[in-house]
Amino acid sequence: MKNQANPWLTSNLFLLGLGLLPAAILIGALLYFTAWAFAFSFTDLALVGRKSVEWNWVGLQNFERLFTRRGFLESLWTTVIFVFFSAIVGQSVLGFLLAAVLRGSQSTIRSVVEVCIMLGWLLPDIVAAFLWSATTSQTGLINQLIVVPLGFPPINFINEYALPIVTIANIWKGTAWSYLLFSAALDSVSREVVEAAKVDGATPFQRIWLVQLPIIRPHIATNMLFITIWTFTYFPLIFAMTGGGPGRQTEVLAVFLYNQSFSRGNLGFGSAISVAMLVIVGLLSLVYLRMLREPK
Amino acid sequence: MLKRGFLTTVAAMSLMAAAAIPAKAEVSFMYAEWIAALVEPGIAAFEAETGETVKAIKLPGQGYDQRIALDLAAGTAADVNLMDSFMVSELASAGYLEPLNDLASGWDQYQYYLPGLLEVASYQGKVYALPTDTDVRMLWYDKSNFEKAGIAMPWEPKSWADILDAAQKLKDAGVQYPFQLPAGIKQGEATTMQGVYMALLGADVPEGDRNRLLNRETNQWIGDSPALRRTFDLYHQVFVERELNPADLNYATDIGAAVRQALADGKLGILASGSWEDACLWDCNNPPSREDRDAQVGWTPWPGSGEPGTKTTTNISGGWTIGVNANAADKELAFKLITSIFDEANFKEWTLANHRMAVRTDISESPEYTADPFLAKATALAADTTGRDTVPGYQTVSALIQQATSDLLDGVSVDEVVQGYHDALVDEFGEENVITYE
């Protein structure tokens, strides 16, 4: 190895160290923030007031309170439902179906649908939140176009079905990613394999289920890994649409963390929540990473 | 070759880094959009007079409290900041704000500020911010909907039962939001002040601070009391048991805009809010004419609960302030900006046009101010007002109160909510700082 390096560079250790510096800083910065959250999860650090400067170590107290106080477990459950339905069922399955169906279709139709899917993704979260609030309000588009003409009284969607509405909004927002990824993955499946299956008498469903899906399995795992991580920690759309409410109906962990850290001002407790989120997401990632491995 | 390439890269990167560091700032100033009509002429006057530029950071009102606390805590706040008065002592106790006594001593208009309001913005005997306005709280109502529901006007409820009756009639008449009572965390301080505290003050006798969140004698937070239970029960009645108001307005993407829209659409019955709504129900910076406003809405003081010995009407006052960051580069220049904003002509014009309650005697005693019928009535209401428990810790308690109302909205029982609130207070302040009233 050493022989391949530039002799001028290897003889100049100082410069070599200097070259390493950006990497060291980057890794240090990444570790610093995680370490910061981890360390302060054992303190009673506050955002403002005296405890923001004179904080104390409190041991495992914050972690105990995750389980003994109302909030964390409820939010965890809300988050699990939100991630499962909006990311795994919604974005991933819908994205795959769209990719599979549009593969064979005309290029103009495909382009039009693609642009429509992408629009949701490209809109800033706050704009999307306003759009969804307006659309689902009692005088909004859904009521005016569907509910009222069918003879039903208008429904106040955010009031009655807050979690389903933010879930659907997130599916709308995030499907583009899964679609693009699966589209590229399906393109990588060689035509010969699919045609061979066809010749062997496989039905279209069998061709997808038994041929294409196993081939793109690593892509599915990668997609799951990404969307699970970022949906688990997703904040802006829900916060802007409902702020976690009504009551706590849409208080996912990210919103709970925000409320505890910045409204209540308890950064120690907030850090404990973020550490717990880190552990949960870490465990989920391990599961997906195992899926990524080639079967022996 | 390599060496030259390397050096060129280093040089280029240093240049980029240097460009990324902002030029030495002028004076930066963060404020909320609703106060633009006061501060923007002040900024212009300051720039014209000093030749300095002001880096103005104008933000929406929602989430502003969290933003200012976070910015100051993180050391990224502007030199001059608008903040809710309840935060001043807490921010000052953490050392984030500059005491203004010395800076203000040379300013001839400082003498006019009402001492009681400076007190709210003080910590350990030093003033840390200057108030922009104060306020009173009341129940606003839409006159056309009251007519539709057959409720006599002027509406003068004598107890909570009267409010609930009116709300029931409005609901029966098909009004969508019969009693918009601020609740939940997204409403922030509005939940605590416009909702919970206004009810709490009339929920029990004032003796021993039984109708408050804090016993001000002993500085202990009240974790459980008949007043708290009655207040929480009022929320339970409104949102769960009698369903006198849908919860969604409290969680709208932009709550202020949603409330204004509901009023404009004729969907609002009663709104628990404050004196600023005389302008802000339409547009804080540009309200419609007096006649238009009076034709549309009326207001009445919040009645007490009707329990024996409680107050007949309640009121609590807050207000906003402007203060200087302890890390401001040029504190004298920063304070100069504050004096430009609060210069009498500018301050008085805004106070009158927006129907704010004056914080200075040179304005409150002026003939224009005393002749204004709305301000005269509001000032009469202020004769029997109180302030928040602006001791450090209040912000946390306020957030816990907001959280309690969230749980009530979810249908959690009053007993369970009180227990949760009590436990959270103990978590934050220790057993010795939390008391219970039987």
Question: With bands split at pLDDT 50, 70 and 90, how would you rate the model's confidence at A17?
Answer: confident
Average pLDDT score over residue span B130-148: 94
**Residue B46: inside a domain, yes or no?**
yes
Query: Considering CB atoms only, which of B90, B248, B424 is closest to A69?
Result: B424
Q: Does the pLDDT at position B1 exceed 60?
A: no
The count of residues in chain B is: 438
Put simply, the answer to whether A50 touches B188 (Cβ < 8 Å) is no
Residue from A10, A64, A70 whose CB has the most chain B CBs within 10 Å, to mutate? A70
The count of residues in chain A is: 296
Question: With bands split at pLDDT 50, 70 and 90, how would you rate the model's confidence at A1?
Answer: very low
In a shared domain, residues B249 and B266? yes
Domain positions in chain A: 72-292
**Residue B112: inside a domain, yes or no?**
yes
Contact criterion met (CB below 8 Å) for B288 and A199: no
Per-residue pLDDT tens digits for B154-210: 999 999 999 999 999 999 999 999 999 999 998 989 999 999 999 999 999 999 899
Instruction: With beta carbons under 8 A apart, name residues in chain A contacting B91.
Output: 48
In a shared domain, residues B201 and B112? no
Give dist(CA A173, CA A182) in Å, integer: 16
Contact criterion met (CB below 8 Å) for B118 and B88: no
On the CB side of A278, CA atoms within 13 Å amount to 12
* B188 at interface of A, judged by CB pairs closer than 8 A: yes
What is the residue range of B260's domain? Answer: 137-316+390-436
Contact criterion met (CB below 8 Å) for A86 and A170: yes
Q: What is the 3-state secondary structure (H, E, C) of chain B?
A: CHHHHHHHHHHHHHHHHHHHCCCCCCEEEEEEHHHHHHHHHHHHHHHHHHCCCEEEEEECCCCHHHHHHHHHHHCCCCCEEEEEHHHHHHHHHCCCECCCHHHHHCCCCHHHECHHHHHHCEECCEECEEEEEECCEEEEEEHHHHHHHCCCCCCCCCCHHHHHHHHHHHHHCCCCEEEECCCCCCCCHHHHHHHHHHHHCCCCCCHHHCCCCEECCCCEEEEECHHHHHHHHHHHHHHHHCCCCCCHHHHCCCHHHHHHHHHHCCCEEEEEEECCHHHHCCCCCCCCCHHHHHHHEEEECEECCCCCCCCCEECCECEEEEEEECCCCCHHHHHHHHHHHCCHHHHHHHHHHCCCECCEHHHHCCHHHHHCHHHHHHHHHHCCCCECCCCCCHHHHHHHHHHHHHHHHCCCCHHHHHHHHHHHHHHHHCHHHEEECC
Question: In sequence order, which residues have a C-beta less than 8 Å from that of residue B230 and are 6 or more positions away?
Answer: B199, B203, B204, B305, B307
Q: What is the 3-state secondary structure (H, E, C) of A136-162?
A: HCCCCHHHHHHHCCCCCCCCCHHHHCH
Estimate the share of chain A in helix, then strand, then coil, as percent rounded to the nearest 5: 75, 0, 25
In a shared domain, residues B289 and B331? no
In a shared domain, residues B404 and B269? yes
Query: Considering CB atoms only, which of B94, B251, B409 is closest to A158?
Result: B251
CA Rg value for chain B:
24
Query: How many Cβ atoms are within 10 Å of B215's Cβ, its own excluded?
Result: 17
* A105 at interface of B, judged by CB pairs closer than 8 A: no
Q: What is the DSSP pairing of strand B313-314 with strand B54-59?
A: unpaired
C-alpha B265 chain-centroid distance: 25
**Residue B227: inside a domain, yes or no?**
yes
In a shared domain, residues B274 and B413? yes
**Residue B110: inside a domain, yes or no?**
yes
Backbone angles phi, psi at B219, to 5 degrees: 60, 35
In CATH, what number is assigned to the domain containing residue B58? 3.40.190.10
Question: With bands split at pLDDT 50, 70 and 90, how would you rate the model's confidence at B2?
Answer: very low
The answer to whether the peptide bond before residue A246 is cis (omega within 30 degrees of 0) is yes
Range 225-264 of A in CB contact (< 8 A) with B:
240-249, 251, 259, 262-264
| B403, closest residue in chain A (CA to CA) | A247
Average pLDDT score over residue span A158-177: 91
Put simply, the answer to whether B407 touches A47 (Cβ < 8 Å) is no
Query: How many Cβ contacts (< 8 angstroms) between chains A and B?
Result: 119
Put simply, the answer to whether B87 touches A159 (Cβ < 8 Å) is no
In a shared domain, residues B159 and B202? yes
Q: Does the pLDDT at position A9 exceed 50?
A: yes
Question: In sequence order, which residues have a C-beta less than 8 Å from that of residue B272 and are 6 or more positions away?
Answer: B137, B139, B140, B179, B180, B181, B182, B194, B195, B198, B302
Query: Considering CB atoms only, which of B251, B396, B403 is closest to A265?
Result: B396
Report residue A169 as tokens: 């909004």
Find the largest Cα–Cα distance for chain B.
92
Q: What local confidence, expressed as pLDDT, does residue A219 receive?
A: 86
- Comparing A12 with A277, the larger pLDDT belongs to A277
Instruction: Select from B381, B400, B420 the last residue of a domain.
Output: B381
Give dist(CA A129, CA A31) in Å, integer: 33
**Residue B21: inside a domain, yes or no?**
no
In a shared domain, residues B274 and B364? no
Q: What local confidence, expressed as pLDDT, does residue A204 receive?
A: 81
What type of residue is B248?
Answer: D
* A69 at interface of B, judged by CB pairs closer than 8 A: yes
**Residue B20: inside a domain, yes or no?**
no
Distance from CA of A3 to the nearest CA of B (A): 18
Give dist(CA A166, CA A132) in Å, integer: 8
In a shared domain, residues B198 and B278? yes
Average pLDDT score over residue span B369-379: 86
Give dist(CA A8, CA A15) in Å, integer: 10
In a shared domain, residues B150 and B262? yes
* B97 at interface of A, judged by CB pairs closer than 8 A: no
Average pLDDT score over residue span A15-24: 86
| A6, closest residue in chain B (CA to CA) | B2
In a shared domain, residues B113 and B199? no
Contact criterion met (CB below 8 Å) for B255 and B114: no
The sign of the CA dihedral B367, B368, B371, B372 is: negative
Put simply, the answer to whether A69 touches B423 (Cβ < 8 Å) is yes
* B321 at interface of A, judged by CB pairs closer than 8 A: no
Instruction: With beta carbons under 8 A apart, name residues in chain A contacting B268.
Output: none
Q: What local confidence, expressed as pLDDT, does residue A292 receive?
A: 76
User: Which DSSP letter does residue A43 get?
Assistant: B
Distance in angstroms between the alpha carbons of the first and the last residue of chain B? 85
Q: Does the pLDDT at position A18 exceed 90?
A: no
Backbone angles phi, psi at B110, to 5 degrees: -65, -35
**Residue B147: inside a domain, yes or no?**
yes
- Does ipTM surpass 0.90 in this model? no
Instruction: With beta carbons under 8 A apart, name residues in chain A contacting B2.
Output: 6, 8-9
**Residue B4: inside a domain, yes or no?**
no
Give dist(CA B20, CA B22) in Å, integer: 6
Q: Does the pLDDT at position A11 exceed 70?
A: yes
Instruction: With beta carbons under 8 A apart, name residues in chain A contacting B408.
Output: 247
How many domains are contained in chain B? 2
Three-state SS at A57: strand
Least confident of A179-193, A264-278, B186-200, B331-345: A179-193
Nearest to B119 by CA among B130, B108, B109, B106: B130
Strand partners, B325: B97
Query: How many Cβ atoms are within 10 Å of A126's Cβ, its own excluded?
Result: 14
Question: With bands split at pLDDT 50, 70 and 90, how would you rate the model's confidence at B19?
Answer: very low
* B403 at interface of A, judged by CB pairs closer than 8 A: yes
In a shared domain, residues B53 and B115? yes
Instruction: With beta carbons under 8 A apart, name residues in chain A contacting B73.
Output: 47-48, 52
| B62, closest residue in chain A (CA to CA) | A240
Per-residue pLDDT tens digits for B277-314: 998 899 888 888 888 999 999 999 999 999 999 999 99
Put simply, the answer to whether A49 touches B406 (Cβ < 8 Å) is no
Q: What local confidence, expressed as pLDDT, does residue B13 receive?
A: 52
| A64, closest residue in chain B (CA to CA) | B427
Instruction: With beta carbons under 8 A apart, name residues in chain B contacting A243.
Output: 184-186, 251
In a shared domain, residues B285 and B162? yes
- Comparing B7 with B224, the larger pLDDT belongs to B224
| A159, closest residue in chain B (CA to CA) | B248
Range 54-83 of B in CB contact (< 8 A) with A:
65-66, 69-70, 72-73
Q: What local confidence, expressed as pLDDT, does residue B21 receive?
A: 47
Q: What local confidence, expressed as pLDDT, does residue B416 receive?
A: 95
User: Which DSSP letter does residue A266 get?
Assistant: B
Query: Considering CB atoms only, which of B253, B399, B403 is closest to A240?
Result: B253
Instruction: With beta carbons under 8 A apart, name residues in chain A contacting B90.
Output: 48-49
Query: Considering CB atoms only, which of B95, B250, B253 is closest to A53?
Result: B95
- Comparing B75 with A13, the larger pLDDT belongs to B75
Nearest to A273 by CA among A263, A258, A262: A258
Does the domain at A72-292 match CATH 1.10.3720.10? Answer given as yes
Query: Considering CB atoms only, which of A52, A138, A247 is closest to B410?
Result: A247
CA dihedral A49, A55, A58, A59 (to 10 degrees): 130
Average pLDDT score over residue span B307-327: 93
The sign of the CA dihedral B331, B332, B337, B343 is: positive
Instruction: With beta carbons under 8 A apart, name residues in chain B contacting A156.
Output: 246, 248
Instruction: With beta carbons under 8 A apart, name residues in chain B contacting A46.
Output: 396
